């Protein structure tokens, strides 16, 4: 079967249709609507996976270290996988209304970043795989924390106005959302820290190569600023009372939102950066 015609637009369109169908469920849920949402999202994930595999074969590099575009597509792939798993396990909660817009933003942004791979030495490739893997999982966790924070605030507002679960928008309880929100940040920060440390190691190692890492690279500086913001959020969470769910949600939204905007913005604006 020929998959060479599979492009980014294929799964971007599938995710867009899934989001529209998910949004229509706000006015009423049915088994048929849920089935169509899952079908379009799953079809998009299949096309997404095929595209990444084809890119890996073409560049002879894993997607994580292939290019800026491939790395961002891996991040979007993880978010869609999370969405499908949670939608399958919890058929009533409106995960897609919150996750799919972020997925669409990340996938659409890949049209603006470079897709040219950079050749790597074998040892450098292994270290960069670890570095990129830790970062993409950590940022994926932060993204989910951002989404859960949004869900918490919406649910808090609905309960305050006594809307409850009377409309099509159904979400987990505040206690569960607060617990998940805190957990996402607590798990993501160590991964981001490990990713930063391996990045420093990669930079030091590259000084012996013809193309050494420039530590004043705007993207690298941006990641450092993002890490500091997450460190502040992580420290605040360690001291925050478990009952401070709304404050945690707001802090997560500001911190994680800043991280997402910074990372996507830097990737788009610095296509010639070493950090690709």
**How confident is the model at residue 192, as a pLDDT?**
83
Phi, psi of 170 (to 5 degrees): -115, 140
Helices H, strands E: what count in the chain? 9, 0
**How confident is the model at residue 39, as a pLDDT?**
92
**How confident is the model at residue 43, as a pLDDT?**
93
| Residues 5, 55, 137: CA angle, nearest 5 degrees | 125
**How confident is the model at residue 147, as a pLDDT?**
86
**How confident is the model at residue 275, as a pLDDT?**
52
**How confident is the model at residue 27, as a pLDDT?**
72
**How confident is the model at residue 242, as a pLDDT?**
59
Q: How many residues does the chain have?
A: 276
Which conformational region is residue 275 in: left (phi greater than 0), alpha (psi within -120 to 50 degrees), or beta?
A: beta
HSE on the CB side for 268, CA within 13 Å? 14
Domain ranges across the chain: 1-117, 118-276
HSE on the CB side for 95, CA within 13 Å? 24
Question: Model-level pTM greater than 0.85?
Answer: no
Task: Identify which of 255, 208, 220 has the alpha carbon closest to the alpha carbon of residue 234.
Answer: 255
In order along the chain (276 residues), what is the average pLDDT of each group of 10 residues? 75 92 75 82 93 85 76 90 85 81 90 70 68 84 85 79 60 80 83 84 71 67 76 73 65 70 64 49
């Amino acid at each position: 079967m020929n998959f060479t015609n599979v492009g980014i637009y294929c799964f971007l369109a599938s995710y867009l249709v899934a989001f529209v169908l998910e949004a229509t469920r706000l006015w009423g849920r049915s088994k048929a609507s849920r089935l169509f949402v899952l079908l379009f999202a799953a079809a998009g994930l299949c096309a997404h996976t095929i595209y990444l595999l084809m890119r890996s074969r073409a560049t002879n590099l894993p997607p994580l270290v292939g290019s800026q575009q491939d790395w961002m597509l891996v991040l979007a792939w993880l978010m869609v996988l999370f969405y499908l798993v949670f939608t399958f396990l919890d058929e009533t909660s409106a995960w897609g209304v919150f996750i799919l817009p972020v997925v669409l933003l990340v996938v659409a942004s890949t049209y603006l970043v470079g897709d040219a791979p950079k050749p790597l030495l074998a040892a450098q490739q292994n270290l960069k795989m670890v570095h990129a893997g830790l970062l993409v999982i950590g940022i994926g966790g932060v993204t989910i924390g951002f989404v859960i924070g949004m869900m918490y605030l919406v649910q808090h507002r609905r309960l305050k106005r006594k809307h409850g679960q009377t409309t099509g928008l159904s979400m987990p309880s505040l206690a569960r959302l607060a617990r998940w929100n805190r957990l996402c940040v607590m798990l993501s920060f160590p991964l981001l820290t490990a990713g930063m440390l391996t990045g420093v190691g990669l930079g030091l190692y590259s000084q012996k190569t013809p193309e050494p890492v420039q530590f004043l690279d705007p993207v690298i500086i941006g990641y450092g600023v993002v890490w500091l913001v997450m460190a502040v959020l992580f420290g605040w969470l360690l001291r925050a009372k478990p009952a401070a769910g709304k404050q945690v949600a707001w802090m997560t939204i500001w911190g994680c939102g800043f991280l997402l905007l910074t990372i996507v913005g830097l990737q788009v604006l610095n296509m010639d950066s070493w950090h690709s």
